[in-house]
Amino acid sequence: MKKLIAFAAICISIIAAAYFSSCNNQDAGTEAKNRKEDSLRKVVERGDYLANHVAACIHCHSKRDFSKYSGPVIPGTEGGGGDVFDNTILDAIPGTLYGKNITPDNETGIGSWTDDEILRAITHGIRKNGDTLFPIMPYVNFNKMAKDDLLSIVAYLRTLKPINNKVKDRQLMIPISMAYPAPALQNAVDNNVRPPESDMVKYGEYLSTVADCATCHTPFVKGQLDFARAYAGGNTFNLGECRVNSANITSDSATGLGTWTEERFMNKFTVYRDEKAYNFNPGKQNTVMPLSDYAGMTDYDLKAIYAYMRTVKAVSNQVEKFPK
């Protein structure tokens, strides 16, 4: 946010400078240049919003502070990688994975990758060297994103401070082809479109896909997501000092979000716009839901997600969020 404000301040001064210079000397060249900077700024801002508040890229690809609720990103580590995802946290992960360094560092990050190579990793799960990424990196979902949203994320990643951090290689207990057989068969993304914002349900579905609400909230059965019970919750995440089960967020009235008003739903996210919310019961209760990220989503986008979640088939599944 601070970065955005600083950026906005720079932009305002650029615009002001452009205004005055165009008044003073009618410099059409400068005006054209500033128009270009303005459109670039909008692309990077969109990428920043998606990567930090919807798609949770930066959340998974930075170091996290789990002494605070939901483990917000430790400032200064944005995109540098190193966060661990393993089977002590979630049974369904067959080994140890590390959030990779996605800063523009040439040696240890993706500084030397072309836009197409980055896009291929994000949407097809194929690394620059041809390896298949483990699908905890939600490329199956990102494959459904509109091309301009994807490109805005790539543009934003290029603006991250390069961090020199060599992230360890994963150790998988099964061949990657068992985890995800056919990344190359994923669709091309060129014709993907973002639904109009006025279609709240469709637009909310798009955002939920990008935010990957389904993976954590859909029950894993023998390592596979049981989509017949989509969003019914109950996956256990072990955070060392405490455990947490993903909630039932289907429209079931007794065990899901059926009785939740829009206001209550919004509040689940918006309370984390305040620093104080992160000190809630530190160490005793915690969550893996990237609340510090989602809290920065616009009210409109959160409302759209709510509208979509109302249409999700009700599944009865009583979940104890914080098991003893």
Amino acid residing at 252: D
Site for ligand HEC contains 303 (CB under 6 A): no
Does residue number 110 form part of the binding site for ligand HEC (CB under 6 A)? yes
Burial 300-313 (b: 16+ CB within 10 A, else e): ebbbbbbbbbbebe
Sign of the CA dihedral 124, 130, 133, 135?
positive
Nearer to ligand HEC by Cβ, of 102 and 200: the residue is 102
Q: What residues have CB less than 8 Å from 212, skipping those under 6 apart?
A: 55, 56, 138, 141
Binder to ligand HEC among 102, 151, 295, 315 (CB under 6 A)?
A: 102
Applying CB under 6 A, does 127 fall inside the site for ligand HEC?
Answer: yes
Q: Which of 41, 170, 194, 202 is in the footprint of ligand HEC by CB under 6 A?
A: 170
**213/234 Cα distance (integer angstroms):** 13
User: Cβ neighbours of residue 126 under 8 Å, at least 6 residues apart?
Assistant: 120, 132, 133, 183, 184
User: Judged by CB, which is closer to ligand HEC: 30, or 68?
Assistant: 68
- Contact positions with ligand HEC (CB under 6 A) in 130-169: 133-134, 136-138, 142, 153
As measured in angstroms, the least distance from the Cβ of 166 to ligand HEC is: 10
User: In sequence order, what are the residues at sequence separation of 6 or more whose Cβ sits closer than 8 angstroms to the Cβ of residue 206?
Assistant: 144, 194, 195
Q: Which is nearer to ligand HEC, 18 or 102 (by Cβ)?
A: 102
Q: Does 120 bind ligand HEC (CB under 6 A)?
A: no
Question: In one letter, which amino acid is 99?
Answer: G
- Please give the single-letter amino acid code of residue 288: V
Task: Give residues in contact with ligand HEC (CB under 6 A).
Answer: 51, 55-57, 60-61, 85, 97, 99-100, 102, 110, 118, 121-122, 127, 133-134, 136-138, 142, 153, 170, 208, 211-213, 216-217, 237, 244, 246-247, 249, 265, 268, 287-290, 294, 305, 321
